[in-house]
Chains A and B, each alone.
Chain A
Amino acid sequence: MEGSTIRQLHNMSDEDVMEQLQNGVVQAFDIIVHRFKDRLHNFLFRYTHNHEDCEDLVQETFLRVYRSRHSYQRIAKLSTWIYTIALNLAKSMYKKKQRMSLISIHADESDPDDREFEITDTTILQDEELHQKNSVHELEKALMELNDDFREVIVLRDIQQLTYEEISEITGTAMGTVKSRINRARIQLQEILGDYVNSETY
C-alpha cells in the first residue's frame, strides 16, 4: 500500500505532491526533498560559499516548507514558492553574519584582552579546493562581489535558469526591474572579471 502511494507520488507534478502533503500524506515530503535538494544546494551555495551553512539552510528551507504547507496556494509554482523561502532564509542569515562581523570590528583596542584574532576558516578552504579551475574560482569570487540584489537575480537567471516571471515572483520585484538588474549585474560581473570586449574586435 505504502509502496504504491510512493510510486503514485513519483509520477505527480510538484504541485500535486504538495497537495498530498497538505492532505496529510507525509511521504510527499520525501518526494519534495528528493526533487529540490540539489537545486537548493546549488542556489544557496552561491550565498554561503560554505557547504555547512548551505546544508543548514537547505534543511531549514524544507522544514519551513512543511510547517507552512497550508499557506501554499496553487496559484504559484511550487518551485517558485520554495525558492522564495530559501532566498528569505539566506538573506536573514547573511544579515545575521553581517551584524556579527560588525561587532568584531568594534573591538576595544585599548583593552589587551579585547584584541581581535584571525581565525582561519578551513571549511572555506575545503570548498575552494573543490573548484580546481582558476576561471571557475574567479567567477565564483566575482559573484560574491556583486551586491545582493544583483547576485540574487543573476544566480536565479543564469545558474538556476528560471524565467523572468519566476524571478519577479521570488524576489518580489517588478519584471522590468528584474530585467534591468540582470543586465546591469552581467555588466558589473564582466567588469569585475576584467572581461571587457577586446579592442581588436572593433
Chain B
Amino acid sequence: MNFCKPERNSYFMNPENIKNSSGRSPVSNSQADLKNRLRTLPQVKAKPDFDQKMAALFSLELDNEIQRINQAWLRKSGKIRLPELISDLRTELF
C-alpha cells in the first residue's frame, strides 16, 4: 500500500480560506463588518446657515474679482482715467 504523507495544504494555511458555519471566511466577515460600521457612521452635514454664509463669501469674492479686473484693465490702458468726484457743478457744467 502506498501511503501518502499528508502534506501541509497551503490553501488551508491561509486564514482567508477557513470558512465558518455560514460558509464565509471569518477574516472577510470581520472586514465586511468594519466596512459596514464605517458606512453607517453618522453623516456630517452642512449647517442650515451654511448656504447663507457661502453666498456672502461668494459675493465678496465676486466684488474682489471685479476690482482686480478693473485695476488690471486700468493698468493696461494708462491714458484712461476714472472720472474724479465733481466738486462744484457750477464750475464743471457752466
Q: A: which residues have CB within 8 A of B?
A: 26, 29-30, 33-34, 37-38, 41-42, 45, 51, 54-55, 58-59, 62-63, 66-67, 130-131, 135-136, 139-140, 154, 158-159, 161, 186, 189-190, 193, 195-198, 201-202
| A44 to B22 CA separation, bound complex (whole angstroms) | 38
Contact call B54/A33, Cβ cutoff below 8 A: yes
Question: How large, as a class, is the contact surface on chain B?
Answer: 20 to 34
Residue numbers in A under 8 Å from B79 (CB-CB): none
Contact call B30/A195, Cβ cutoff below 8 A: yes
Q: Can you name 14 A-B residue pairings with CB atoms under 8 Å? A: A33-B54, A37-B46, A41-B46, A42-B45, A45-B44, A51-B47, A55-B53, A59-B57, A139-B37, A140-B41, A158-B34, A195-B33, A197-B30, A201-B26
Contact (A186, B34) CB under 8 Å given A38-B43, A161-B39: yes
Contact call A158/B35, Cβ cutoff below 8 A: yes
Residue numbers in B under 8 Å from A59 (CB-CB): 53-54, 57
Residue numbers in B under 8 Å from A193 (CB-CB): 34
Contact call B18/A202, Cβ cutoff below 8 A: yes
Residue numbers in A under 8 Å from B7 (CB-CB): none
Task: Please give me the residue from chain A that is nearest to B54 by CB atom.
Answer: A33
Task: Please give me the residue from chain B that is nearest to A132 by CB atom.
Answer: B42
B69 close to A (CB within 8 Å): no
B50 close to A (CB within 8 Å): yes
Contact call A202/B50, Cβ cutoff below 8 A: no
